Amino acid sequence: MLLCRSAINLGRIKYHCTVVTPLRRLCSMSDTTQPPQGYSLPAEVTKAASQWLSTLRPPVTTRGMKVMDESQFHVTVHTKALRVAAKECNAFVTNMRYALLNMPGSVAGFETIGHIAHFNLREDYLPFKEIIGRIVIDKNQHIKTVVNKLGNIDTTFRFFQMEVVAGEKNFITEVKESGCRFQFDYSCVYWNSKLSTEHWRLLETFTKKDVICDMMAGVGPTVIPLISGKFHLYNKCGRQFVRDLVAGYDRADSPVTPFTQVVMNLPASAIEFLDVFIGLFANNHTAPLPTIHCYCFSAESDPEKDVQARVEKVLKYQFTADDPVSIYDVRDVSPLKRMYCVTFSLPPGVAYNTSPTKRAQVEEADTQDGKTKKAKSDHDE
């Protein structure tokens, strides 16, 4: 790395660099050595870095700016440069990155959904949201709209209120995942690009012989990539959807093929809907019992124990060695909460259960807050 009397364009600012050699100690660590958590550079190196980086700050006249004025950025700044031997470049970049990440005041990243950039800005940055949005659009040619999330995802359909901080007010977007194109209104549905790996993991567990029942399909990232032939779409309450499918197994005029896999990708409340499987196959002992993939959240110290206990409570059934439960750690959603996928084969003790007491409990749960649960089951992950 060599910067020698060269001009570097960062935004609208042009930097003229002259070679100096501070920060030599940034190269002292091996590029294969990862600094420990909380790693900080020696004081003298940090001081030199601060002095060096201070020259890269925008002009004083731009500080506190809330409305973009590009003319204020048309300045020339003379700053210093650093000569690093080629063999030390990797170590330098690694250690400089850690130094920069440890500096306070950085804005977190954003998620990209087609042409939309989605931020969760902290309160400290809200006064500067317009400038942040303008910069993102300026530096990313494919971004046309920048939105900021307002509040938590607590609505029935799992989408959230948002505000446009820069660009076009256009929420109709298109994304590619698993070889498919999805087009949707981002302001009305839930989409999380961070779940693409999990969608693909689940897809790889299915075979060509499987028939998938997606109780909470939303936009459909789990099952649409599997579609290559005949398929059926329904817009029903999740519980009623499953009951109607099973009821149609024995009808000659029914297009329904017995499903072998069930996906319940609504982690905030999917476990609540497991009660529909109690006695679901009581009148049909010939149909295959499906494998269920139920998503949920947990913030407990022993999440696997917590998740299994909650599933057992709803099913009124305790799993044994003959019907094991698999719990997969999907991702973290906050520092204290993670998302999990619980996978198990529907036990005969649940599927064929005809206990009047348990059936009454299921029917009561089905009617309680019916409108809310109906809406929840129709939607997303």
pLDDT digits (tens, 9 = 90+) for 300-332: 999 999 999 999 999 999 998 888 899 999 998
Lowest mean pLDDT, pick from 201-210, 217-226, 367-376 = 367-376
Boundary residue ending a domain (56, 81, 101) = 101
Q: Strand 326-334 vs strand 261-264: parallel, antiparallel, or unpaired?
A: unpaired
1 within a domain of the structure (yes/no) = no
Q: Is 300 a member of any domain?
A: yes
Task: Examine the domain organization and report whether 14 and 126 are in the same domain.
Answer: no
In a domain, 106, yes or no: no
Q: Using the 3D structure, point to which of 185, 217, 249 is the last residue of a domain.
A: 185
Question: What is the distance, to the nearest Å, from the Cα of residue 292 to the centroid of all Cα atoms in its chain?
Answer: 22
- pTM beyond 0.75: no
More confident residue, 232 or 84: 84
Between CA 54 and CA 57 the distance in angstroms is 5
CATH number of the CATH domain containing 338: 3.40.50
Indicate whether 53 and 135 sit together in one domain: no
Whole domain around residue 79: which residue ranges? 7-101
With CA atoms as reference, report the closest residue to 51 among 29, 82, 30, 75. Answer: 82
Residues 287, 169 share a domain: no
> Is residue 245 located within the same domain as residue 348?
yes
Compute the distance between CA of residue 51 and CA of residue 41 in angstroms, rounded to an integer: 14
Give the residue-averaged pLDDT of 232-249: 83
Question: Is 265 labelled as part of a ligand binding site?
Answer: yes
Please report the pLDDT score of residue 105 as a whole number: 55
Q: Is residue 228 part of a domain?
A: yes
Count of domains for the chain: 3
Domain limit, last residue, from 139, 159, 185: 185
Same domain, 261 and 202: yes
Reported as type and span, the H/E element at residue 16 is strand 13-20
- 91 with 142, same domain: the answer is no
Same domain for 273 and 373, yes or no, is yes
Asked whether residue 249 is domain-assigned, the answer is: yes
Task: Give residue 347's pLDDT.
Answer: 94
Contact 127, 347 (CB under 8 A): no
Q: Is residue 351 a part of any domain in this protein?
A: yes
296 CB neighbour count, 10 Å cutoff: 24
> Quick one: 212 and 356 in the same domain?
yes
Q: What φ, ψ does residue 292 adopt, rounded to 5°?
A: -110, 135
Q: pLDDT tier at 33 (50, 70, 90 boundaries)? A: very low
How many CB atoms are closer than 10 A to CB 236?
A: 15
Say how far apart CA 116 and CA 138 lie, in whole Å: 13
Sign of the dihedral defined by the CA atoms of residues 279, 284, 286, 287, in that order: negative
> Is 118 among the annotated ligand-binding positions?
no
For 269-278, the pLDDT digits (tens) are 899 999 999 9
Give the CATH number of the domain where residue 139 resides.
3.30.300.110
Same structural domain, 125 and 79: no
Residue 2 lies in a domain: no
pLDDT at 164: 92
Q: Two tokens at 52?
A: 């060096």
Residue 244 CB neighbour total at 10 angstroms: 14
Exposure string of 136-171, with b = 16+ CB inside 10 Å and e = fewer, is: bbeeeeebbbbbbeeeeeeeeebbbebebbbbeeeb
Residues 206 and 299 in one domain: yes
One domain for residues 117 and 223: no
Q: What pLDDT digit, counting tens, does each position of 168-179 carry? A: 999 999 998 888
- Tell me whether residue 130 is in a domain: yes
The C-alpha angle with vertex 335 and arms to 330 and 338, in degrees rounded to 5, equals 25
Asked whether 314 and 260 are in contact (CB, 8 A), the reply is: no
Q: Please provide the DSSP assignment of 166-192 as one string.
A: EE----EEEEEETTEEEEEETTTS---
With cut-offs at 50, 70 and 90, classify the pLDDT of residue 30: very low
Burial 100-134 (b: 16+ CB within 10 A, else e): eeeeeeeeeebebbbbbbbbebeeeeeebbbbbbb
What's the rounded Cα separation, in Å, for the pair 54 and 43?
16
Q: Give the pLDDT confidence score for residue 218 in this predicted structure.
A: 81
Does one domain contain both 259 and 309? yes
